[in-house]
Amino acid sequence: MRKGRETLNNLLRTAHRDRETPTLPRDWHDSVMADVSRLGPAGTVGELERLAPRFALTAAAVLVTFALAGYWALGTLPGDIRAAYSTSEFSVVMSQPWQNL
């Protein structure tokens, strides 16, 4: 069993060691530099990426604040509408009592 383990290890190690290591294409260097140049100065990219979580956090905080304010301002609105509607309906009924006769 131990011999089997070692043999298998050797087999996989040899296969790994003997794999082909391709050389990078001739235009590879230029294509990386072209991409990097498109990104602009490294400091700017890094700075924006560093600040990205803060932007996301700020946006989330603003969203939550607006949602709470909206709930606070409009939370009772459906009840108010229902109450107003019922009251006006009642007033209409009471103001035309002869129609119920």
Partner 1 sequence: MAGQPDDMSIIAAVVGGDVDAFGQLLARYETAVGNLVAAHVPGEDVAEVAHDAFVRAFKALPGYRPTAPFLNWLTTIALRSCHDFWRDRYRRREAPASDLSDDGQRFLEAALAANSREEFDRLARAREAREVLALVLDQLAPLDRLVLTLTSLEERTVGETAEMLGISVPNVKIRAYRARLKLRHFLKRYGIQGGDNA
Chain positions contacting partner 1, by CB under 8 A? 1, 4-25, 28-29, 31-33, 35-37, 39-43, 45-47, 49-50
Beta carbons of 49 and 42 less than 8 angstroms apart: no
The nearest distance, CB 3 to partner 1, in angstroms, is 8
Min dist CB 57 to partner 1, Å, is 19
Angle 20-22-26 (CA atoms, 0-180°, nearest 5)? 165
Residue whose pair of structure tokens reads 């050389």 in the numeric block: 23
Of residues 30 and 80, the one with the C-beta less far from partner 1: 30
Q: Decide whether 42 or 94 has the Cβ nearer to partner 1.
A: 42
Q: How far is the CB of 55 from partner 1 (least distance, A)?
A: 17
Cβ nearer to partner 1, comparing 10 with 91: 10
Residues 97 and 90: beta-carbon distance below 8 Å: no
Closest CA relative to residue 86, chosen from 98, 75, 78, 76 = 78
